[in-house]
Structure 1
């Protein structure tokens, strides 16, 4: 087992949403007022991701971005203004040259919605984003009322939208069941509400080399997830220490030294921990972990052998079984055949 210094491969890819969460949590803890700007409507720009927002304080600190930064000139002062308690709707336009320079497909225009966000709601949203957990941000378009939903099923409410709260929250929870970040306008009893459901994208950490590692990278790419491979204990420990709830460890290396990565992952209590190996390998690993002080309850959080029982024979099929288990656990499903279930199909 190699123990070289931490390599660039071990470092977590840039995650703007996580950085935004950290800023929101920090500002709320310091008692700073927070303003939010989101895109209410748009035309042009080509394909853009949902769930984008800019946040700012009254002192001008800013986090997040809209459309690769192309709308920042309009969004930043609007967010600062919203931090002082003023909600507003403004039009913004980006010409072809700056749009292309930012990486967008073409010019466009956007209707920006700015609103304040109370400290408790900002703290809850920031904590969820930083930890890689689902969250939703809802705001009344024609006013400043805002609501943040957190928890695995968005069951926890922070703030309110007045009479529209219950119905709007239920619609946000329904959007969450799609399993992807979404931005939508909804109408509840004549009240327009802008909803952003923010679903973290899993990042797969493969520890060890081989054909299965390459197959996991390919499968992650198909799902829109990120993936990276490390081969040394320091790299693996560094990466797992930085895990969020959305992250996935797949331990391919059977070297007993890598038991430490599983122990540290259990201690952090974040992410999906999976380990490859035969039943004999799993039994030996289990005995070593128990001898090292890991409890039986903790071991239930280690998925080994990792993957669903699909009868996988090839690396590609095994990769499918592993990501399928992750998807099922994230959705709270048993991963049984759809024909044998009576619940909602598709989340």
Structure 2
């Protein structure tokens, strides 16, 4: 839903009716994961996608029905190899889809106007770069938007609000989306779908070279908050790196020592100059980061390893370093190099083999 936040906010502010269709469960191989969203406006306009085409027509028909009835719907799509006319996923997986009508004009807390208020608050928070989660009661449609300290909306069951709020905050902290079955002592279970929109992960690119400009573009495409940093002001300019969120003129190791990183963070050192590389890599390899890579030839890297060992880094710390950076795609240009680095980042993040799919077997998407 966050990908279509701008348009959804415009619909809410204009008081226009629409249906949000979200994937709330996936089994087996599927083109998109939990949280993927499409929205259908009352005038027929469609935003987003759930499957890349396999079930879009059926979802559109169901959304039209939900708009007419004003009631949420849940349905599942799978693959029936014996029925060529069945609606389902040709890849063989199964999707659970929740269709949620929203009518801003219905301003009652129990109606979809309450949902619109919660969604509006959540979407605005996400667009400001703040972590936020949306919890939707799949049986009633009641919606709770949850930030780090504040929340808007509720479950409609006072005794359940605290449980859902605590679980949603925990899932937001872990950057996890999914369906949970929650209840109060002695009460029945209620299915709750939580969609977490954490702050974007950071990509820190050190070295203001042409490869950095291409990698900044790729990082933004992948959803990272991109910073380009170099100590040389003549090269480190906004004009050279317009796609970056931040362009910083600092010694790389000094800047990295002052910023926060976590296991989602990516550090790419592209200077291939020992006076820059060694201090910043010493800092990067001793802090949380999901990926640390460095550009350079094999001879440059061998020399760099000797310098890093002399600087006190241990072998387990050095094993975290991906260098020479990127996968072997045979490319030479900055853009091709950026693709090879991005491919390695995606493969490592998703525990992919990085092998050609023609050389592998089994499910393409592992549940």
Please confirm whether the aligned pair reaches a TM-score higher than 0.5, indicating the same fold.
yes
What is the CA–CA distance in structure 2 between the aligned matches of 1:78 and 1:108, rounded to whole Å? 20
Q: CA RMSD in A?
A: 4.5
Q: 2:135 aligns with which of 124, 133, 138?
A: 138
* Counterpart position of 2:272: none
2:49 is the alignment partner of 1:65 = yes
* Counterpart position of 2:208: 208
2:152 is the alignment partner of 1:158 = yes
Alignment gaps of 5+ in structure 1: 1-16, 97-103, 214-226, 283-302, 327-347
What secondary structure does 1:229 align onto?
Answer: helix
CA shift for structure 1 position 173: 0.6
Q: Which has the larger radius of gyration?
A: 2
CA shift for structure 1 position 86: 1.6
* Counterpart position of 1:127: 124
* Counterpart position of 1:254: 232
Greater helix share, structure number: 1
1:62-88 per-position Cα deviation (integer Å, ceiling 9, x unaligned): 222224443322323333444552211
Q: Which runs of 4+ in 1 moved over 4 A?
A: 256-261, 270-275, 303-309, 314-326
Alignment gaps of 5+ in structure 2: 82-88, 103-114, 262-276, 292-367
CA shift for structure 1 position 256: 5.0
Moved more, 187-196 or 116-125: 116-125
**Equivalences for residues 82-101 of structure 1 within 5 A:** 82-83=66-67, 85-94=70-79
CA shift for structure 1 position 144: 2.2
* Counterpart position of 2:180: 185
What secondary structure does 1:136 align onto?
Answer: strand
User: Is residue 19–residue 130 contact of structure 1 (8 Å, CA) maintained in 2?
Assistant: no
* Counterpart position of 1:78: 62
User: Is residue 40–residue 112 contact of structure 1 (8 Å, CA) maintained in 2?
Assistant: yes
Q: Aligned in 2, Cα 1:26/1:49: closer, same or farther, shift over 3 Å?
A: same
CA shift for structure 1 position 19: 3.7
What secondary structure does 1:255 align onto?
Answer: coil
Q: 1:107 aligns with which of 92, 109, 119?
A: 92
Aligned length: 250
Q: Aligned in 2, Cα 1:253/1:65: closer, same or farther, shift over 3 Å?
A: farther
Q: 1:33 aligns with which of 2, 13, 17?
A: 17
* Counterpart position of 1:199: 198
What is the CA–CA distance in structure 1 between the aligned matches of 2:67 and 2:247, rounded to whole Å? 40
What secondary structure does 1:26 align onto?
Answer: helix
TM-score when normalising by structure 2: 0.54
Q: Aligned in 2, Cα 1:325/1:29: closer, same or farther, shift over 3 Å?
A: same
CA shift for structure 1 position 156: 2.6
CA shift for structure 1 position 275: 4.5
User: Is residue 59–residue 80 contact of structure 1 (8 Å, CA) maintained in 2?
Assistant: no
Q: Aligned in 2, Cα 1:120/1:278: closer, same or farther, shift over 3 Å?
A: closer
What secondary structure does 2:125 align onto?
Answer: helix
User: Is residue 25–residue 124 contact of structure 1 (8 Å, CA) maintained in 2?
Assistant: no
What is the CA–CA distance in structure 1 between the aligned matches of 2:245 and 2:191, rounded to whole Å? 36
* Counterpart position of 2:215: 229
* Counterpart position of 2:344: none
* Counterpart position of 2:251: 277
